[in-house]
Structure 1
Amino acid sequence: MADFVHLHLHTEYSLLDGACRIGEMLDEAVRLEMPAVAVTEHGNLFSAVKFHDEARKRGIKPIIGCEVYVANGDRRNHSGTPGETANHLVLLASDLAGYHNLIKLVSAGYTEGFYYKPRIDKELLADHAEGIIGLSSCLKGEVATHLCRDQASRAREAAATFRDILGANNFFLEMQYQGIDDQQVVNRGLPPIAADLGLPLVCTNDVHYLRQGDHRPHDVLLCIGTGKNVADEKRLRYHGDQFYLKTPEEMAAVFGDFPEALRNTVAIAERCDVDLSGTVHRLPNFDVPAPFESPEDYFASVARDGFDERRPRLQALRERGALRYDVEQYERRLAYEIEMIRKMGYAGYFLIVWDFIRYARERGIPVGPGRGSAAGSLVAYCMRITDVDPLELDLIFERFLNPERVSLPDIDIDFCERRRGEVIEYVTRKYGRENVAQIITFGTMKARAVVRDVGRTLGMSYAEVDRVAKQIPQTLDMTLAKALEENPTLGEMQRTTPQVKELLDVAQRLEGVTRHASVHAAGVVIAPAPITEFAPLYKKDDIVTTQWAMNEVERIGLLKMDFLGLSTLTLLHDAVDHIRRSTGETIRLDAIPLDDEKAYRLFGSGQTLGIFQFESSGMRETLRKAKPQRFEDLIALNALYRPGPLGAGVIDTFIDRKDGREEIAYDTPKLEPILHGTYGVIAYQEQVMRIASDLAGFTMGEADVLRKAMGKKIASVMEAQREKFLTGAVERGLAAEVARKIWDLMEYFAGYGFNKSHSAAYALLAYQTAYLKANYPACFMAALLTIERQNTDKVALYLGECRDLGVPVLPPDVNESEWAFTVTPAGVRFGLGAIKNVGDGAVESILAARRGSGRLTSLNRLCEDVDLRLVNKRVLESLVKAGAFDGLCGDDAASGNGAGRRRRSAQLLAAVDGAIEHGSRRQRNRDCGQHELFGESEAVQADGTAMRLPDVPPWTEGEQLACEKEALGLYLSGHPIDRFRRELDRAGVRSIESLDQPAASATVAGIVSQRRDLKTKKGDPMAVITLEDRAGRLEAVVFPEAFRKYGRLLGVDALVTVNGKLEIDEDTARLIASEVRPVDALLSAAGRPLAIRLAAPPADRTTLEALRDVFGRHPGNGRVALEIELRGQSPPLRVRARLNRVRVQPSDRLAEDVEKVCGKGAVSWG
């Protein structure tokens, strides 16, 4: 071996502290001819498997270790000053026993000892000391800490304790020197202790970054982790630039006076030998019932019984002439799959999946029809693991499982989002709590995100960083290097602006570095024994996960399942429940026809908001072009609407061929049965496999290997496969030229081809949602609005969809509303649970009051009957502002009379304090057994239906809408912009919801709902505003030049039109403002008169005088007209008269003042 080996090193998995990428670090170790290297993350083993495998590939010996935190006392004591409750200690696994002990130690650090850091203690270390080599660590080690405090005797005691725990030959005193004064103190104090206790010395460099020049990016990384600015003097920092991967020569120059410390690095490396090569599948045991003797027998029985349950459906299809293959072919396919699964040893795996899906179905937990390649399995269909008939849709079993595949089959399951946890809990109980855990996932710093992170720590302004970030294309797998290559503007900014150059240089060094750990959305591990026998555990927010991500968990052989929570299943379940409650019909989703005309009309119209996988604006536009007419079209569109096929124009070819604008030509008739369903376009991976099999004689397993090679563009495999294909095709009668042409076609499309099994399963979910929306729109929208109730942007969008569907949405009502949105004969009723500040407890209290006392008749009565700790002042005010008491306010308010509603709402809001006091008093008296004189409150009339309300001014319409927005997060009964919609349409001003394509110039109108004032680094003011109209919300950036001109117009609640450049990233629009105008200015420029509608005979003199006063308060040049409706005529006759002597200044305030006099809806422009 060389003269030195690094034994203390941190990669990017020492999160936001280590900056070494594993691959780069190992490549540098190879370059430096280092035979071995250790990785010792802070408190975790996140990188262990990845590091091990990458090191072995390069011929470097991996040493698996960890720099643990050792508690000063009991690890379970979670108190004390942060940063002072633990010291560092480096532990290295010398053999497999040590490796397994290390797993148990770091697991306990998170599951038992976590207090700011994952801590073990000396008792735990003693219990798991076998196979462990310890180093005393850095300045934060216990020995070094005491030496720095001039406590030599305590340092000696600490070293002796670790010697006794680990053994004299297994504990080394660690020397470091990166130019820090305290290190010299420690390095002088260690040799005497070593001599006194008979302990060996070792030297390390505590590597945190790869090269000396990386100290600046590493410093920025620390700032990102601590939320500090690099200019902050009082922040955490590593002094100097010496924490890099030094050469043996550089280490010898530092520790030349301690040759034994250098030699001991090599001796330790020679002692450490942990080889994790190979994968052994570790499936949990599945207990089979009597009389079955093995999982294989039980599996076959369950699969065949399941086929018998599916048989009536096949017979019904055969009777209708709609069965694609005869039943005998199903039986042959089933027998083939059963035998293949048994031979490959996966019978137990299928039983495990079948069991927890059966549990879910038996308890009414919605389960998806399938996902991924498992939908291609008839066995899975028969066992009701999936609900997609693979023969009917020509799906291929070998895409899922074949002898050439070495990994476990992958069955991912969708469950109702609301009840997914019940299934995980069942699995946890069945297989043991210690044997089941969720899986960790790691987030990395992507191109745009790392620019924003780095810019913030460098002290750059939002505007400066934003200008750079927006130059990075928002496309799949974008990197900063690609962005600089593709966007000359970004390169120019880097060359000409020193600050941008530093930003991009540092960002490129940190791009892709792991930023944080979180829980994988779906992954669950099920082990045959406690997971810590195989993998370390991590715990955060009471959720236990593995410390290794999905790939590493599978790599060591553990069974990984994806339990996905899918809100679409919740939506379907709730919509079906609404249908049953409101119509009495019971809908079986697996029995709905796949040729429903209304459903396909819905798809063809692009009216697919809320439809799974078909909701984006781009997809809706594609649907309007494609006009799908059969289920196969939906499968294809779902597969093709992805960046690759879209960029290559494949989806346009598909549509043109479908509609007959482009001829469908096949190079050989053998392609027609394979590609006819997609009009000659290769849309699916399964089509590539079928072509290889039918035209060139590949087995399906071989075809799957080809499919993988083409999809991943593995050149070495591709060339051999090409020769095999061409030879096989020619042998089967194809001309060599035709065979080459077909190969080229396959190669071109294979990069875009999608898994048809997955696309078919998800197209089925999409069709089911569309079927319910098309046939039961109110029930569907009620379920959808409930699910999205916390997302006010989506609720506003879906309310617009309700209007388009002709589904009335009724305001919340304390007597009519439930917690969720509900369906009534009059429309969809807003749910109480969607009102802000009204929690679940408050809703339940109101519902309980209704159940106990019947219909609530007044605010006072409600306060008598509810729990006022839950239904407090804040709740009551939100209910009033939302309009939930309008039904108690008399005919004028309840029927929607604007003036009446505004008057009563203002009175009710003023009455809340008194109502609470009244209710509290009545409840106290009731609890004491007392009754008020005559048994009624003095505030309630004899009939109990009314209460005296304060005499306060009524709300204006603007105040009413503002209150509604405050309580609901959106405008329900109207929108401030509505009265100007006609003029805005004429002026070409677009609705926010219609913004689906980038544009150099676009004009939108809305109310300013939020404003964030910012400053550039030069100190120039700018702002980011949020604009809202009735159906959408848009962010607009107002840079300094535009802000100087228009900033005064951008107050919150201002109604404005904004023109600028429209940018769209991943369906999110943003406007770069260049011009802002008040909406009033648009009306003035248009010259349209203010039109006031009055019923005949005209209003009395008081009304006319009130109007004259309004006109006097708004002088200007705008014209006024009266529209008088003669209601005695049939149909009613309208007479329009201009008031030639009256001129006003058009404005929102003018319209509001007129409507105070004449009623809501009396004003229009034009």
Structure 2
Amino acid sequence: AARAAIRDSGRAMGYSYNLCDQVAKMIPAEVGQTLERALHEAIDLHQLYDSDEQVKKLVDTAMKLEGVARHASTHAAGVVITKEPLEKIVALQHPTQDDETIVTQYEMYSIEDLGLLKMDFLGLKTLTQIENTIAIVKKTKNEIIDISSLALDDQKTFKLLQEGKTTGVFQLESGGMKRSLKELKPTDFEDIIAMVSLYRPGPMELLPEFIARKHGAKKIEYIHPTLEKILKKTYGICVYQEQLMEIAKELAGFSLAQADILRKAVGKKIKKLLDEQREKMIDGMIKNNIPPKTAEQIWLWIEPFARYGFNKSHATCYALIGYQTAYLKTHYPTEFMVAIMNSEQDDIERIAFLVNECNQMKIQVLPPDINESLENFTVIKNGLMRFGLVAIKNVGQNVVEAIVKERKANGPYISISDFVERVRDKDLNKKSLESLVKCGTMDKLGERGQLLFNMEHILNFSREISISKSNGQAGLFDALAADSKTNGLPPLKLIPAPPAGKKERLSWEKELLGLYVSEHPVKEYLPYIEKMALPCSKLSAQLAGKNVSCGGVISKIQKIITRTGKPMLFVTLEDEKAKIEVLVFPNTLERTATVWQEDKPVIVSGRLNDKEGNLKLLCEEVRELNENHLKNHG
């Protein structure tokens, strides 16, 4: 809030971005930080405040704005439930740019203080993924999974968690979380609950201590013996609000109601309440024969918890769903990945990421096929799945349903003319038909280059069929064309054309499916890359901070303009098994601008950076690979 107040004030006052950013970055990045406190703690900020009149005016103005609501936001899942119509009880309004939703004008804490019931209803896509996995397992293996009765000590599931193989696992799939899981090596369900609670801004700084204590690298000590039974499961670290309440109850004699007031003070970071609770808690501990010095120590140890405490019941719900998804991924990997991918079909980049995960899991993903694919991804057998037609870009749901329905009713399509005769959906236009051809879905019906060369011819043929049918000519010609499905029209003859080249085919697949299917373009360069550099898949956190050379194909380029007004690039470099983000800063970009093109094979050299488990390569040099590298090192 303090940094935001500086930036908002500076923008309104017409100060330069650089000045506001400089001042904002001087404010220590701590939860609950205030400008007043920052002026005392940050010497450089204090000196600038005293010496620069413009900065003084900026900070003084920001202090007046600090803590004021910047905008009216809407709680994503909060629902207020009342006996009578809401308009009789509480002020209502529409959110910004939304005339449909109705929200209360009070924020959530005031709603609670008024005595109104606010319930959080979370609509998690993960629950649908679990449900769909169970249904697929029932269909493919005839097994019934009771997800609510899973054993919470399954060793194979914990092995997956310990190895950080948690892509698709609820709450546990970020790069940083994967790294933390590898370090923690969870051995029971309590460890998962703690991870969900600690892996957040603020409490994350306790994670190294938590991990060290679990593995005996650091000694667990308790200020008072009673704390051991409360904190034993979290290795002497107070992680949950419920533990805080138990400490207040056992050490200070608080009732549950009093402990809940303490929880509220801690959870809502209310300073006035915290000060009141400090006095009550220390008095209570002294009455329970705890020496005043120890009581003060315990409070000072508890107070920072105000920045960290998490509700254990909340964390347990999330941890349980995380464990359930990890269990399904462990024991039913193909079915689980199919369910995940079917829920992500609108996101072509996510699908590409998940297909790469399937490759890591030794699950083969077959390309889309006009005579084999259904609407969605489907399990063929264990370790084998097929692309769904819905996942193809530019091909709508109506077209896909028409293709599958007709094929189920009347058998496989035998030619392109057979296909356009039988699939008569109005949404099957040039763009959707070209997309089906380009990504290889129609390979059994003809060569891609020839079909695309004849596209206008094919579409004219389709239109003639429509006219013929609408004019009722089919009945007149049926007897003459018993061996044809073209309503008496002359058969479709394709004009000979050169076949599509490999680069074209791969480029089309990447564009329409989000990934290379028939072959990865890096494959032919791998012998050279492995001699001169590392493939993307060989980069690891152990190499962080070192200069490395990495080879692959450029699959995505994002250009931004920096604060200095110069362009820089975020580039995705990939091989068959992995990908990495490459940062190309302005100075490097000036020297190498002509190299950066999608689908181009390159070797990038630079320093490998590891931030929260996400590897990034900071480019210093890049060189393009060409046919000479194939000849010399193929």
Q: Same fold (TM over 0.5)?
A: yes
- Asked if 2 retains the 8 angstrom alpha-carbon contact of 1:471 and 1:490, the reply is no
- What is the one-letter code of the residue matched to 2:623? R
Q: Deviations over 1:474-495 (max 9, x none)?
A: 9675989699999999999999
The aligned residue for residue 174 of structure 2 is 616
Structure 1 unaligned spans of 5+: 1-443, 890-903, 941-945, 1081-1113, 1115-1144, 1152-1164
Distance verdict in 2 for CA 1:499–1:983, change over 3 Å: farther
The aligned residue for residue 583 of structure 2 is 1036
Distance verdict in 2 for CA 1:1067–1:788, change over 3 Å: farther
SS of the residue corresponding to residue 768 of structure 1 reads: helix
Question: For the residues of structure 2 that align with 1:626 and 1:786, how far apart are their CA atoms?
Answer: 32
The aligned residue for residue 582 of structure 1 is 140
1:758 aligned residue (284, 306, 314): 314
Q: Deviations over 1:1002-1021 (max 9, x none)?
A: 65544445556777899x86
Q: Which moved more, 1:528-537 or 1:821-830?
A: 528-537
Question: For the residues of structure 2 that align with 1:595 and 1:1053, how far apart are their CA atoms?
Answer: 46
Shift of 1:671: 3.0
2:77 aligned residue (504, 522, 526): 522
Q: Percent identity?
A: 36
The structure whose RCO (Cα within 8 Å, separation 6+) is larger is 2
The aligned residue for residue 781 of structure 1 is 337
Q: Within 5 A, what are the aligned runs for 1:1096-1111?
A: none
The aligned residue for residue 917 of structure 1 is 460
- Asked if 2 retains the 8 angstrom alpha-carbon contact of 1:696 and 1:727, the reply is yes
Q: Within 5 A, what are the aligned runs for 1:496-895?
A: 519-533=74-88, 534-538=90-94, 540-546=97-103, 548=105, 550-551=107-108, 552-554=110-112, 558-647=116-205, 650-710=206-266, 717-718=273-274, 721-722=277-278, 724-729=280-285, 731-732=287-288, 734=290, 738-749=294-305, 751-825=307-381, 827-888=384-445
Shift of 1:849: 1.6
Q: Deviations over 1:1094-1114 (max 9, x none)?
A: xxxxxxxxxxxxxxxxxxxx6
Question: For the residues of structure 2 that align with 1:1058 and 1:448, how far apart are their CA atoms?
Answer: 41
When normalised by structure 2's length, the TM-score is 0.82
Shift of 1:988: 5.7
Q: Deviations over 1:134-174 (max 9, x none)?
A: xxxxxxxxxxxxxxxxxxxxxxxxxxxxxxxxxxxxxxxxx
Is 1:1054 equivalent to 2:600 in the alignment?
A: yes
Question: For the residues of structure 2 that align with 1:513 and 1:1037, how far apart are their CA atoms?
Answer: 39
Question: For the residues of structure 2 that align with 1:561 and 1:1076, how far apart are their CA atoms?
Answer: 54
- What is the one-letter code of the residue matched to 2:107? M
- Asked if 1 retains the 8 angstrom alpha-carbon contact of 2:547 and 2:605, the reply is yes
- What is the one-letter code of the residue matched to 1:917? N
Question: For the residues of structure 2 that align with 1:1075 and 1:466, how far apart are their CA atoms?
Answer: 34
- Asked if 1 retains the 8 angstrom alpha-carbon contact of 2:3 and 2:27, the reply is no
Larger Rg: 1
Shift of 1:1060: 4.9
Is 1:906 equivalent to 2:446 in the alignment?
A: no
- What is the one-letter code of the residue matched to 2:451? L
SS of the residue corresponding to residue 642 of structure 1 reads: coil
Q: Deviations over 1:1051-1107 (max 9, x none)?
A: 343333444567788877766543332245xxxxxxxxxxxxxxxxxxxxxxxxxxx
Q: Deviations over 1:520-549 (max 9, x none)?
A: 422333444443333233264552222625
Shift of 1:836: 0.7
The aligned residue for residue 302 of structure 1 is none
Shift of 1:885: 1.9
Q: Within 5 A, what are the aligned runs for 1:413-428?
A: none
- Asked if 1 retains the 8 angstrom alpha-carbon contact of 2:176 and 2:614, the reply is no
Distance verdict in 2 for CA 1:543–1:1060, change over 3 Å: farther
SS of the residue corresponding to residue 973 of structure 1 reads: coil
- Asked if 1 retains the 8 angstrom alpha-carbon contact of 2:26 and 2:44, the reply is no
Count of residues paired in the alignment: 618
- Asked if 2 retains the 8 angstrom alpha-carbon contact of 1:451 and 1:504, the reply is no
Shift of 1:869: 1.9
Is 1:1146 equivalent to 2:598 in the alignment?
A: no
Question: For the residues of structure 1 that align with 2:6 and 2:406, how far apart are their CA atoms?
Answer: 50
Structure 2 unaligned spans of 5+: none
- What is the one-letter code of the residue matched to 1:640? L
Question: For the residues of structure 2 that align with 1:979 and 1:492, how far apart are their CA atoms?
Answer: 60
- Asked if 1 retains the 8 angstrom alpha-carbon contact of 2:557 and 2:569, the reply is yes
Shift of 1:793: 3.2
Shift of 1:911: 3.6
Distance verdict in 2 for CA 1:851–1:1013, change over 3 Å: closer
Q: Which moved more, 1:960-969 or 1:1050-1059?
A: 1050-1059
Question: For the residues of structure 2 that align with 1:1071 and 1:703, how far apart are their CA atoms?
Answer: 49
- What is the one-letter code of the residue matched to 2:449? A
The aligned residue for residue 1155 of structure 1 is none
- Asked if 1 retains the 8 angstrom alpha-carbon contact of 2:580 and 2:617, the reply is no
Question: For the residues of structure 1 that align with 2:49 and 2:532, how far apart are their CA atoms?
Answer: 41
- Asked if 2 retains the 8 angstrom alpha-carbon contact of 1:861 and 1:919, the reply is no
The aligned residue for residue 259 of structure 1 is none
Distance verdict in 2 for CA 1:697–1:500, change over 3 Å: closer
- What is the one-letter code of the residue matched to 1:524? V
- What is the one-letter code of the residue matched to 2:443? D
Shift of 1:767: 0.5
- What is the one-letter code of the residue matched to 2:518? S
Question: For the residues of structure 2 that align with 1:750 and 1:478, how far apart are their CA atoms?
Answer: 10
Distance verdict in 2 for CA 1:938–1:664, change over 3 Å: closer
Distance verdict in 2 for CA 1:499–1:918, change over 3 Å: farther
- Asked if 2 retains the 8 angstrom alpha-carbon contact of 1:447 and 1:478, the reply is no
- Asked if 2 retains the 8 angstrom alpha-carbon contact of 1:796 and 1:1032, the reply is no
Q: Within 5 A, what are the aligned runs for 1:460-479?
A: none
Question: For the residues of structure 1 that align with 2:345 and 2:515, how far apart are their CA atoms?
Answer: 11
Q: Deviations over 1:946-1000 (max 9, x none)?
A: 9864422222222111010111122233333344456546656473896879858
